[in-house]
Amino acid sequence: MQTSVSPTPRPRRDGRGRFFREYGWAYLFILAPVLLFLVFTLYPVASAFVMSFQQYKVMGSTWIGLDNYSRMMTDDVFWKSIRNTVIFTLATVPVNIVITFVLAYLIFQMKNKAQTFFKATLYLPAVASGVTISVVWLAIFDPTDSGLLNRFLGLLGIDPVIWLGQSGTALFSLILMNWLGSHGAGIILYLASMGGIPKSLYEAADIDHASGWTKFARITWPLLKPTTLYLLVTGIITSFQVFISVYLMTQGGPNFATTTIAYLIYQTAFQFYEFGLASAQSFVLALLIVIVSVLQFKAFSSDVEY
Amino acid sequence: MKKTGWLLSLAMLVGVTTACGGGGGSNAAGPEDKDTVTVWTYPVYGEYESELKERVAKFQDEHPNITVQTEMLSWSEGPQKFDVALNAGNPPDLYFHSVDGTYVDTGLALDLTPYMTDDIKNDYLPGTLELAQIQGVQYGLPLYQFQWGWGGNKRILEEAGIDWENIQSEGWTWTEFKEAASKLTGKTADGSPQYALVTDGSSLDFIEMLSRNNGMPDVLDDAGKFQWNDERILDTLSFIRELMDSGYVPKETAALDPTKRTDMFYAGQAAIISKAIPYYDVMLAARNKDIDAGTVKGEKIDFVYLPVPHNDNAPAKTTTGGEGYVAFKQKNDKGEQHAENTFMVMEYLSDAEAGNASNELALPFVRKSQQEAFAGKELGTETTLSAAENMAENAELPVTLKLDAALAAKQKQFKEQVVKPNMQALYSGEKTPDQIAEEFKSKGSQSFGQ
């Protein structure tokens, strides 16, 4: 005869006590970052969201519903800033990815010491401050004959250009600065990914007499797609938030030719003290970034293997 | 340990976290209670930081219950730091700046009327206390009265036969300036272009100073009436365009910043620069000494302080304002005694000894006691000080001191969003004066309803 012994149900309090005894420390440790997230990220974001429906005043804000959003939608400068931001993003991100990829591909063919040298050299701008870089570029774009770029043009017999002082060239100047700027982080990511591609795949391709282009198109490029997708998404997010170069070099001018959405938010908040309107602009920027990022993942992630 | 151990740790964590949010301030209930007054300021002149430290130490010796915490801000980053603090409801008790309607609009600017004794009021020279008032209410105490003129290179002016001493005493018209400009434009010894006048394309000082000298105190007048909507602003814009078309002003102006303007002045490529203060006299004298000592390379320059030319049919005006300490309370008000202590520190930092700011900057004093304290010790050359005195007679005070905060804010926004981009378009030749004047008119009508 078998006797079934049913386990005695443990009192609930005891179970909770055991849970805390076993996992309490773990939860305590994650409490710190959770608290930091709540206090320094979630709370400000939620406050800013509420603020976007208010006319903000330190001593008491007024609820104005969607007024900030409707004001923003009828503001020419807001649409100019969106246009400039989109142009800047479209002009910089794809070109930067190509430049980064080509540089990484060239470095990958080199020996170890040369690789280290180029990796360090090309990463250097990433650790330099944006302010320093902007000051150097201001000297490069000096509008007089003595400007570095204008001197170079002079050697080619081309008249000096007022790079940052004309609507036609100001945004292009910032784009040019971005193209020639920091590719270091992307290069390191690409190099790591290239190093992770199994050599056996290339050996098999060699046996099949595959050309260099075929090996690139069928092996290298597909296996680098996750890195490319990552660089594309982060590049677009960064470009949508471009601020330092605009702030330091053109202050949105001339005639709003370089006013980007991030600069407009800064100007609305800190020059005009319209924090409610600036919050509304911030949420539109955040929404744009989310939409573009989701679209990118939808478009590219189906054939990306992680 | 176990349960009590981690509960204790949690309590400590919460304690540390909440401590971060503490104000750190103090509520002084009585005159002898301990209190802390915070002061955010700037390096007003070369030795200001060290002098301020000494003065604060002396104040604290005399008032052992009051601690004065000073923070020296950089001119570039300071305003933003202050704006954030102010709009978070936690500004410093004292901040060095001109009084601004947007500050008053926050409700945190401290009305100083109850603390202004007759002794203090009577010590200020006529017209100077008003520099720190908005609509008649005192929010600050001016440390000095600034004025903006143009700055000339004596050598270039004299080589071109310009009677600069007469200009300093009598002023000059736009027509006279154009005549002079034709003589001042040419080439430097090394073949670089030399311009009669160099201005920067990033700020609005140039158009503001010129329009003031064409009968318009600002975009709005004291009564809030829109000014930049008639022939006067068109004349002013046309005058600027004419200077550029004649080559008197660089065609690259749209991309010139104030630093480049100064560089061109130092390099002898600018006979005159469009913004100068009498302090340049002291500054350039120091640079000349450095050149003599071999620590700086370049040509020594003798400074000539010049009034801004006025339109032939309009009176001459000198752009003037006041800067000094502005007092604030916080969102969590620290009480009446704290406000009194704040004023006490403010008055101490603006007293006779503080007149060294005006003296160092070669500016007119704001208090009688300062005039007396520094009598015979004035820095700057006699000609510059005399020119500054002449120009002070035509002083045009900022209209923002008379406007209500909302209108002042609208004017500021109009300048940033309408005037600035249009001025850049004028400098780069992308718009004509007529197009810009028309845009000022239509956008001004939308903004100000006039």
For residue B105, the distance in angstroms to the closest alpha carbon of chain A comes to 9
Mean pLDDT score across all residues of chain B: 91
Share of chain B above pLDDT 90, in %: 76
Nearest Cα residue in chain B from A162:
B252
pLDDT in tens, B359-379: 999 888 999 999 999 988 888
**What is the structure's pLDDT at A14?**
65
User: Cβ A59–B89 below 8 Å, yes or no?
Assistant: yes
Q: Please list, residue by residue across A130-141, b when 16 or more beta carbons sit within 10 angstroms of its beta carbon and e when fewer do.
A: eeebbeebbebb
Spell out the domain ranges in chain B.
32-146+321-399, 148-318+402-448
Nearest to B370 by CA among B383, B386, B354: B354
**What is the structure's pLDDT at B6?**
47
> Distance between CA B374 and CA A248 in Å, rounded?
40
User: Closest to A31 (Cβ–Cβ): which among B13, B201, B250?
Assistant: B13
User: Closest to B80 (Cβ–Cβ): which among A58, A146, A270?
Assistant: A270
Residue B376, class by beta-carbon neighbours within 10 Å (0-12 exposed, 13-18 middle, 19+ buried)? exposed
Strands A62-63 and A54-55: antiparallel
**What is the structure's pLDDT at B7?**
45
Size of interface A-B (CB pairs under 8 A): 112
**What is the structure's pLDDT at A12?**
54
> Distance between CA A167 and CA B326 in Å, rounded?
39
Residue B80 near chain A (CB below 8 Å): yes
Nearest to B196 by CA among B181, B206, B178: B181
**What is the structure's pLDDT at A6?**
54
**What is the structure's pLDDT at A62?**
92
pLDDT in tens, B74-84: 988 899 899 99
Residues 6+ apart with CB under 8 A from A162: A143, A169, B251, B252, B254, B255, B428
Residue B30, class by beta-carbon neighbours within 10 Å (0-12 exposed, 13-18 middle, 19+ buried)? exposed
Pull the structure tokens for residue A6.
Answer: 């049913």
> Distance between CA B81 and CA B40 in Å, rounded?
10
Helix, strand, coil: what percent of chain B each, to 5?
50, 15, 35
> Distance between CA B6 and CA B19 in Å, rounded?
19
Residue B267 near chain A (CB below 8 Å): no
> Distance between CA A286 and CA A289 in Å, rounded?
5
Decide which of A85 and A2 is more confident: A85
Average pLDDT over every residue of B246-273? 94
Q: Report the SS3 class of residue A122.
A: helix
Architecture of domain B148-318+402-448: 3-Layer(aba) Sandwich (3.40)
Res. A11: pLDDT tops 90: no
Sign of CA dihedral A250, A254, A255, A257: negative
User: Cβ B17–A39 below 8 Å, yes or no?
Assistant: yes
> Distance between CA B272 and CA B154 in Å, rounded?
9
* Cis amide bond preceding B258, omega within 30: no
Tell me the C-alpha to C-alpha distance, in Å, between residue B145 and each of B152, B362, B365, B380: 21, 10, 7, 16
CB atoms closer than 10 angstroms to residue B198: 25
> Distance between CA B389 and CA B363 in Å, rounded?
9
**Best of A271, A275, A281 to disrupt the B interface by mutation (most B CBs within 10 Å)?**
A271
Q: How far is CA B75 from the centre of its chain?
A: 11
pLDDT in tens, A153-204: 999 999 889 999 888 999 999 999 999 887 889 999 999 999 999 999 999 9
pLDDT in tens, B184-216: 999 998 888 999 999 998 889 999 999 999 999
Taking contacts as CB-CB distances below 8 angstroms, the residues of chain B near A21 are: 2-3
Backbone angles phi, psi at B276, to 5 degrees: -150, 155
Q: How far is CA A210 from the centre of its chain?
A: 37
Residue B396, class by beta-carbon neighbours within 10 Å (0-12 exposed, 13-18 middle, 19+ buried)? buried
User: Closest to B417 (Cβ–Cβ): which among A58, A77, A163?
Assistant: A77
> Distance between CA A244 and CA A241 in Å, rounded?
9
Query: What's the CATH class of domain B32-146+321-399?
Result: alpha beta
Q: Please list, residue by residue across B320-337, b when 16 or more beta carbons sit within 10 angstroms of its beta carbon and e when fewer do.
A: bbbbbbbbbbbeeebeeb
**What is the structure's pLDDT at A43?**
95
> Distance between CA B171 and CA B306 in Å, rounded?
8
**What is the structure's pLDDT at A303?**
61
pLDDT in tens, B276-321: 999 998 899 999 999 999 999 999 999 999 999 999 999 999 999 9
> Distance between CA B83 and CA B88 in Å, rounded?
8
Q: Report the SS3 class of residue B193.
A: strand
Residue B10: which pLDDT band, with cuts at 50, 70 and 90?
A: very low
Which domains are assigned to chain A? 12-51 (no CATH), 72-303 (1.10.3720.10)
Residues 6+ apart with CB under 8 A from A303: A222, A225
**What is the structure's pLDDT at B406?**
84
For residue B147, the distance in angstroms to the closest alpha carbon of chain A comes to 23
Maximum Cα interatomic distance, chain A, rounded to a whole number of Å: 107
**What is the structure's pLDDT at A305?**
56
Taking contacts as CB-CB distances below 8 angstroms, the residues of chain B near A270 are: 80, 83-84
Residues 6+ apart with CB under 8 A from A202: A215, A219
> Distance between CA A21 and CA A24 in Å, rounded?
6
Nearest to B99 by CA among B127, B141, B71, B148: B141
Residue A121 near chain B (CB below 8 Å): no
Res. A32: pLDDT tops 70: yes
**What is the structure's pLDDT at A302?**
64
What single string gives the DSSP state of each residue in B197-226? EE--SS-SHHHHHHHHTTT-SSSB-TT--B
Res. B404: pLDDT tops 90: no
pLDDT in tens, A37-57: 999 999 999 999 999 999 998
Q: Report the SS3 class of residue A60.
A: coil
For residue B38, the distance in angstroms to the closest alpha carbon of chain A comes to 20
User: Closest to B420 (Cβ–Cβ): which among A138, A145, A253?
Assistant: A253
Is there a contact between B156 and B326 (Cβ–Cβ < 8 Å)?
Answer: no
For residue A251, the distance in angstroms to the closest alpha carbon of chain B comes to 8
User: Cβ A270–B84 below 8 Å, yes or no?
Assistant: yes
**Best of A34, A149, A162 to disrupt the B interface by mutation (most B CBs within 10 Å)?**
A162
**What is the structure's pLDDT at B16?**
42
Res. A259: pLDDT tops 90: yes
Residue with tokens 């206390």: B129
Residue B2 near chain A (CB below 8 Å): yes
Nearest Cα residue in chain B from A251:
B202
Taking contacts as CB-CB distances below 8 angstroms, the residues of chain A near B431 are: 255
User: Closest to A255 (Cβ–Cβ): which among B88, B251, B421?
Assistant: B421
User: Closest to A59 (Cβ–Cβ): which among B253, B255, B331?
Assistant: B331
Average pLDDT over every residue of B316-330? 96
Residue B194 near chain A (CB below 8 Å): no
B residues 127-186 near A, CB within 8 Å? none
**What is the structure's pLDDT at B419?**
95
Residue B31: which pLDDT band, with cuts at 50, 70 and 90?
A: confident
Question: Are B32-146+321-399 and B148-318+402-448 the same fold in CATH?
Answer: yes
Is there a contact between B37 and B345 (Cβ–Cβ < 8 Å)?
Answer: yes
Res. A2: pLDDT tops 60: no
Residue B24: which pLDDT band, with cuts at 50, 70 and 90?
A: very low
